[in-house]
């Protein structure tokens, strides 16, 4: 038995005196070490689960996620004792990163922590395993089967069926997503945020409300371009499918866009191609004609990066990546890039198909891997991109350089179309990337609404479709109700991946590209520039990537482009000739929707 006085002395150690900067530094060093170890364990477990979904791997992934999230939350709460200290900027930045490291932070109660981790894993694996089993047959369709249909079928009935069929997989997610949002908000509040949306918006070197305003500003800049494309595509779809399928409210039926979520429209380029132009080339056809298998497609991507000076991918990349859908087990096919051992063990996980869409996605994923390796020397909390939009933009910037000139250089096409092919090429690119912009905005408009409580559970689905209508000008092919949970049919909702990053990436990638092309002395229209083989361009990108997230993003942006603002003018400049052409085509048409 310890005498009362002594036990009091033991409980209040001498370090209870005001903490110093040195204490804060020591605390942070140890926190980084702890989380690096737990993070590695969680990455391995999650890889095991996502490439082989079963009861045991789900258990392991949930357990490892719980260990990481609970520890991160505990450390973030302990870190409060340094709140009043004036810390050097670097160290203060790490303390912020510590609070932001988990996108759905663990609440205080260990039982709720466990419940949250298990719910996260359940949501993601339910999406991964999702299948639609039509009543008429015994075969079930996976998401990639249904995406094939959306890509290539032009039968509205069939399109509608798979569109609605895929959305049956998310119905059971509804109550668990509601609980998930509740628990995540609890965790965020324990860390001092108003809610999870407040936490998500705190990672951009500005106030959360300034970030929202910044997105709105950028959207307003790009809206006329999107509206022009929407008006044109809607007319061509009406010519193809008729008023009976299209309706007359000005909205585009989502199942006709060639994409499950109407988020990018390149797969229906054949329907909207300028009437007289002979298509310059069809990359999907070229890939099939050249019989490029999945690994060779990835090697094309890698070669672009090595051509601008990045070292080749390690042999383990080829041994450990998952490039195709395995036949014998359930997996999460949604493409992702992994860095399980800080730059030493890079991998991608993808179910590659031989088509142009996946060729671009390969470049996107490799962009993540090369970024990860570039910042491996940074301390744990600075191993990330300047803001999350940078990570998403990198590979897309490279893919903008996949021009006809480039494809000819690497032997994938025989002839480069002349200037008469410009509109054709720009329209193709707009179908891929301009179409995406409103979707990039609306996903988090929905989630922020859910987390802040502005969107109530009884309105989850209606609120989603209101946003789709408002931003994308699209509609579902069949009536939806509050039994459905259509947001859950988009990967990033069950996987809880913030989405504004992709919106930012669609601005940043054009900024990076324009700047690298200017630096490389490119002459002629911007969209014909490829910086393939340009080592100086690689060096500029590489220097920025090596900074990781150690500095506020405007500094990283300045290092790469000389600009300090994210700015949609590069997008507008790139597409300017197309915008003029679209305006001409759209004369006499009503723009927008009811
Ligand atoms: O999720 C992705 C990548 C992985 S980070 C394949 N993307 C978004 C999506 O598919 O919805 C890339 C573009 C947008
Ligand atoms: Zn990505």
Residue minimizing CA distance to atom 7 of ligand 1? 502
| Tokens read off for 256 | 């006709």
At 17 the pLDDT is: 83
Same domain, 75 and 191: yes
For 538-545, which contacts have Cβ atoms below 8 Å and span 24 or more sequence positions? Answer: 538/305, 538/307, 538/308, 538/309, 538/310, 539/309, 540/516, 541/308, 541/394, 541/397, 541/512, 541/516, 542/309, 542/310, 542/374, 544/386, 544/390, 545/370, 545/371, 545/374, 545/375, 545/385, 545/394
Of the candidates 163, 44, 451, the one whose C-alpha atom is nearest the C-alpha of residue 443 is 451
241 is catalytic: no
Residue minimizing CA distance to atom 14 of ligand 1? 502
266 is catalytic: no
For 211-218, which contacts have Cβ atoms below 8 Å and span 24 or more sequence positions? Answer: 212/448, 214/566, 215/441, 215/500, 215/503, 218/503, 218/507, 218/566, 218/568
Q: What is the rounded distance in angstroms from the CA atom of residue 303 to the CA atom of residue 378?
A: 26
Q: Which ligand is nearest to the CA of 264?
A: 1
Tokens 């912020």 sit at which residue?
96
> CB of 281 within 8 A of CB of 417?
yes
Question: Which strand (E) or helix (H) includes residue 131?
Answer: strand 131-132
At 276 the pLDDT is: 73
Q: Which of 365, 432, 463, 560 is catalytic?
A: 365
In a domain, 389, yes or no: yes
In a domain, 484, yes or no: no
In a domain, 527, yes or no: yes
CB atoms within 10 A of CB 36: 15
Virtual CA dihedral for 547, 551, 556, 557, nearest 10 degrees? 160
Same domain, 180 and 315: no
Q: What is the rounded distance in angstroms from the CA atom of residue 94 to the CA atom of residue 30?
A: 12
List all residues 6 or more positions away from 19 whose beta carbon is below 8 Å from its beta carbon: 81, 82, 85
Domain count, the chain: 2
What's the CA-to-centroid distance between 516 and ligand 2, angstroms? 21
Same domain, 192 and 298: no
405 is catalytic: no
Same domain, 376 and 511: yes
Instruction: Report the atom number in ligand 1 closest to the C-alpha of 490.
Output: 11
Cα distances (angstroms) measured from residue 329 to each of 54, 140, 159, 273, 370: 9, 14, 27, 40, 29
Q: Phi-psi category of 277—alpha, beta or left, where left has phi over 0 and alpha has psi -120 to 50?
A: beta
Q: Identify the residues whose C-beta falls under 6 Å from ligand 1.
A: 335-336, 361, 364, 502
The pTM of this model reads 0.96
At 277 the pLDDT is: 63
Cα distances (angstroms) measured from residue 378 to each of 384, 470, 539: 9, 42, 18
Mutate to test the pocket of ligand 1, among 323, 350, 361, 398 (most ligand atoms within 8 A of CB): 361
CB atoms within 10 A of CB 12: 9
Q: Phi-psi category of 143—alpha, beta or left, where left has phi over 0 and alpha has psi -120 to 50?
A: alpha
527 is catalytic: no
Q: What is the rounded distance in angstroms from the CA atom of residue 171 to the CA atom of residue 511?
A: 40
What's the CA-to-centroid distance between 394 and ligand 2, angstroms? 9
What's the CA-to-centroid distance between 391 and ligand 2, angstroms? 7
What's the CA-to-centroid distance between 345 and ligand 2, angstroms? 18
Q: What is the rounded distance in angstroms from the CA atom of residue 414 to the CA atom of residue 410?
A: 10
Q: Which ligand is nearest to the CA of 491?
A: 1
At 26 the pLDDT is: 98
What's the CA-to-centroid distance between 496 and ligand 1, angstroms? 13
At 5 the pLDDT is: 46
Q: Which of 368, 391, 506, 527 is catalytic?
A: 368
> CB of 586 within 8 A of CB of 414?
no
> CB of 253 within 8 A of CB of 320?
no
At 576 the pLDDT is: 98
Cα distances (angstroms) measured from residue 430 to each of 45, 425, 434, 574: 39, 9, 5, 10
Q: Which of 64, 197, 334, 399 is catalytic?
A: 334
Is 8 exposed, middle or buried, given 0-12, 13-18 or 19+ CB atoms closer than 10 A? exposed
Q: Which of 335, 495, 536, 546 is catalytic?
A: 335
Same domain, 186 and 307: no
Q: Which ligand is nearest to the CA of 389?
A: 2
Helix axes 460-467, 437-452, angle to 10 degrees: 150
Same domain, 187 and 335: no
At 275 the pLDDT is: 81
In a domain, 315, yes or no: yes
List all residues 6 or more positions away from 6 whose beta carbon is below 8 Å from its beta carbon: none
In a domain, 436, yes or no: no
161 is catalytic: no
At 16 the pLDDT is: 66
Under DSSP, is residue 357 helix (H, G, I), strand (E, B) or coil?
helix
Q: Which of 392, 399, 471, 532 is catalytic?
A: 392
CA-CA-CA-CA torsion sign (234, 240, 242, 244):
negative
In a domain, 591, yes or no: no
| pLDDT, block means (10 residues), the chain with 594 residues | 47 68 98 98 98 97 96 97 96 98 96 96 96 90 96 97 98 98 98 98 98 97 98 98 97 98 97 81 92 98 98 98 97 97 96 96 98 98 98 98 96 92 95 98 98 98 98 98 98 98 98 97 96 98 98 97 95 98 97 94
Same domain, 185 and 323: no
506 is catalytic: no
Residue minimizing CA distance to atom 5 of ligand 1? 336
At 1 the pLDDT is: 45
What's the CA-to-centroid distance between 364 and ligand 2, angstroms? 6
Instruction: Report the atom number in ligand 1 closest to the C-alpha of 361.
Output: 6
Instruction: Report the atom number in ligand 1 closest to the C-alpha of 392.
Output: 5
**Structural domain of residue 351, as residue ranges?**
292-426+507-544
Residues of 62-75 as b/e, b for ≥16 C-beta within 10 angstroms? bbbbbbbbbbbbeb
At 84 the pLDDT is: 94
Residue minimizing CA distance to atom 13 of ligand 1? 502
Q: What is the rounded distance in angstroms from the CA atom of residue 51 to the CA atom of residue 30?
A: 32
What's the CA-to-centroid distance between 586 and ligand 1, angstroms? 31
Same domain, 296 and 184: no
- Altogether, the residues listed in the chain come to a count of 594
Q: Which ligand is nearest to the CA of 395?
A: 2
């Amino acid at each position: 038995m310890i005498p009362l006085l002594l036990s009091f002395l033991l409980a209040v150690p001498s370090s209870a005196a005001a903490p110093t900067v040195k204490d804060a530094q020591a605390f942070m060093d140890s926190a980084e070490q702890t989380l690096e170890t737990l993070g590695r364990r969680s990455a391995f477990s999650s890889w095991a689960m996502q490439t082989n979904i079963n009861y045991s791997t789900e258990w392991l992934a949930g357990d490892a996620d719980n260990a990481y999230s609970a520890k991160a939350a505990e450390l973030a709460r302990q870190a409060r004792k340094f709140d009043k200290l004036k810390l050097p900027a670097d160290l203060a930045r790490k303390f912020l990163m510590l609070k932001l490291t988990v996108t759905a932070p663990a609440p205080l109660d260990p039982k709720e922590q466990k419940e949250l981790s298990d719910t996260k894993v359940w949501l993601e694996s339910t999406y991964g395993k999702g299948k639609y089993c039509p009543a008429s047959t015994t075969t079930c369709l996976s998401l990639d089967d249904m995406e094939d249909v959306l890509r290539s079928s032009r039968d509205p009935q069939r399109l509608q069926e798979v569109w609605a069929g895929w959305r049956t997989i998310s119905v059971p997610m509804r109550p668990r997503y509601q609980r998930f949002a509740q628990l995540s908000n609890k965790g965020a509040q324990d860390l001092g945020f108003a809610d999870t949306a407040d936490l998500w918006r705190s990672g951009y070197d500005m106030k959360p409300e300034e970030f929202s305003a910044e997105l709105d500003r950028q959207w307003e800049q790009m809206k006329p371009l999107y509206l022009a494309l929407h008006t044109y595509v809607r007319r061509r779809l009406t010519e193809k499918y008729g008023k009976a399928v299209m309706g007359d409210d000005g909205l585009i039926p989502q199942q006709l866009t060639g994409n499950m979520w109407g988020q990018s429209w390149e797969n229906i380029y054949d329907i909207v191609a300028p009437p007289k132009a002979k298509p310059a080339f069809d990359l999907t056809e070229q890939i099939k004609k050249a019989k490029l298998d999945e690994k060779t497609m990835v090697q094309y991507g890698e070669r672009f990066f090595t051509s601008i000076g990045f070292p080749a991918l390690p042999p383990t990349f080829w041994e450990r990546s998952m490039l195709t859908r395995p036949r014998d087990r359930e997996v999460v096919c949604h493409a992702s890039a992994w860095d399980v051992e800080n730059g030493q063990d890079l991998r991608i996980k993808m179910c590659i198909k031989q088509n142009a869409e996946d060729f671009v996605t390969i470049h996107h994923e490799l962009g993540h891997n090369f970024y990860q390796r570039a910042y491996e020397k940074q301390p744990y909390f600075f191993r990330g991109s300047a803001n999350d939009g940078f990570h998403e933009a990198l590979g897309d910037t490279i893919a903008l350089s996949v021009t006809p000139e480039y494809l000819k250089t690497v032997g994938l096409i025989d002839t480069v179309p002349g200037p008469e092919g410009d509109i054709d090429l720009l329209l193709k690119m707009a179908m891929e990337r301009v179409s995406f912009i409103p979707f990039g905005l609306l996903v988090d408009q929905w989630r922020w609404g859910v987390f802040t409580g502005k969107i109530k559970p009884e309105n989850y689905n209606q609120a989603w479709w209101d946003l789709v209508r408002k931003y994308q000008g699209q509609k579902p092919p069949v009536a939806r109700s509050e039994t459905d949970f259509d947001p859950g049919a988009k990967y990033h909702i069950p996987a809880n991946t913030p989405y504004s990053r992709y919106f930012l990436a669609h601005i940043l990638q054009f900024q990076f590209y324009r700047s690298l092309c200017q630096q490389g002395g490119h002459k002629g229209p911007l969209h014909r520039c490829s910086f393939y083989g340009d080592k100086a361009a690689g060096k500029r990108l590489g220097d920025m990537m090596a900074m990781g997230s150690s500095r506020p993003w405007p500094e990283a942006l300045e290092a790469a482009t000389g600009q300090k603002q994210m700015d949609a003018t590069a997008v507008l400049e790139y597409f300017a000739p197309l915008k003029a052409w679209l305006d001409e085509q759209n004369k006499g048409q009503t723009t927008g929707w009811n």
